[in-house]
A and B are shown apart, each in its own frame.
Chain A
């Protein structure tokens, strides 16, 4: 199965996930459904504990939901074995975490090449794409710098480049700008939105900050594990 051009890149249907059981059980997702088209960026907003990270974990194949199905790029993630889920993450998913994204003893470029090697991209293709991506994200000349030599904003840009080098079906970003000041955070969010659209990757951006969410095509609200589409979707 491969994704048709006008087919959703991400389709969640009736997904629920409860942590623990009995009196300590926490329903992190309740009957959540979500569709993201290729090249579309969806922002997920909501209070702490509303299930945003759980949502990304379910899409990214880190967590198997109790009920419901998750289909990404034509692959039914919820039907994969443990081993195949690692392979799925390596080939179809790009992750950008809040912080400590990069392997500290590898240079910016090597961090990208490591991801490409996990995905099984050929060396030549990986080198070419790494150079292009770093340049597009304004990191020309910083390829050989180690994460410790880069500013927070630069590190997040390298992380975005890394999340895209293997041409994933979906890019998942969990508060990628939370550790940056507003100015730099916004610049990073804008770059992320631009790359998602340009590369026709589906994007899910979790954020607390309405300003960051404004770069997205749509905003989805999470509350107590339920997702609701908001009316204030950004035009165009």
Chain B
């Protein structure tokens, strides 16, 4: 019955609702930005059909420093638990189009092995020995069409676009999928110091058989490759340059916002409790239990917090709908639900101490203040 107050005295709760809405919106926007940036940074790896990624021994799990001669591939493919093995090379570089220049991530692939895009739609994947590329559909917005030519600014072979793929981004750049030989030629032109006379790749990829034990296969692949670092797909996504740092930074921002939300709820509850000490003591004197008063007070912070979270989601959804399509933000449902729960948790955590203190006010002050 006491919760009626929320509707009878809306002004009293408007302040905290508005503040919490702003904070919740900030948290939700940060989460959607984080999801979007994460997808942009690691999408090409995250959507990959490869289960395991092998980085060479001294690479410290970095794509750029990792190198394997392609001759190693056959050995890995024969290991127990390995269904298929493939190879991948990455290079971020600039390509010029007839009217502009775009930054892209060149992804060298065998096309047959795990980690390659499944097919080009429309068009086709490049053939062996052909300096061609199947490119991210996002590049259509830059005027790339079937048959367009991409000219690498750093030199190396020109690429004819033979198809489009929906393979996701890498390092926030649209991907351009070429053969490993083409990737190696482009890498040699862009970074002459890293050129190699034998065919190489950066990482080897593995897909597992249905019955394979992941740890065991990782160990065997590592041993076969002379102590390579072999990690699963989720770990490999964190190995994308900048991805881990970006995720940490945004997580810290979100934590800070949640902290502020908890502080706001704590302050609001404490103010409420102080202001209403006499009223609460009177209810205690009439026989309201501390538990009942506490639940009421908690509801009075919780309901505005729930309203705030709802408003924040609507606000963010509207912002995302209005944002340009390239804007790196997305709000997958599990992330959204998790964020909402975290904000409510922060609100509850902030409110709990003042609420417990207020609810256990000594009813005797009622007699003293007469």
Contact = CB atoms under 8 A, between A and B. Distances in A.
Interface of A: 53-54, 56-57, 60, 62-63, 83, 86-91, 93, 95, 97-101, 103, 105-106, 110, 113-115, 117-119, 174-175
Interface of B: 1-2, 4-5, 8-9, 278-279, 282-290, 292, 363-364, 366-368, 370
B4 A106 contact: yes
Contact of B364 (A57, A98, A110, A175): A57
B284 A86 contact: yes
A114 B1 contact: yes
Given A54-B367, A56-B367, A90-B288, 14 more contacts: A86-B287, A86-B288, A87-B287, A89-B285, A90-B287, A91-B287, A95-B285, A97-B282, A97-B366, A101-B282, A105-B8, A114-B1, A118-B286, A118-B288
Contacts, number: 68
B67 to A, nearest CB: 72
A106 B289 CA distance: 19
Contacts of A56: 367
B370 A175 contact: yes
A166 to B, nearest CB: 9
Given A86-B287, A119-B287, A53 B367 contact: yes
24 contacts: A53-B367, A53-B370, A54-B367, A57-B367, A63-B367, A83-B289, A86-B284, A86-B287, A86-B288, A87-B289, A88-B287, A89-B285, A89-B286, A89-B287, A89-B363, A95-B285, A97-B282, A97-B366, A97-B370, A98-B370, A105-B4, A118-B288, A174-B370, A175-B370
A71 B9 CA distance: 41
Nearest 7 pairs of A and B residues by beta carbon: A90-B287, A89-B287, A105-B8, A53-B367, A98-B370, A57-B367, A62-B364
A93 B4 CA distance: 25
Contacts of B282: 97, 100-101
**Interface core residue of A56, A97, A110 (most chain B CB under 10 Å):** A97
A62 B370 contact: no
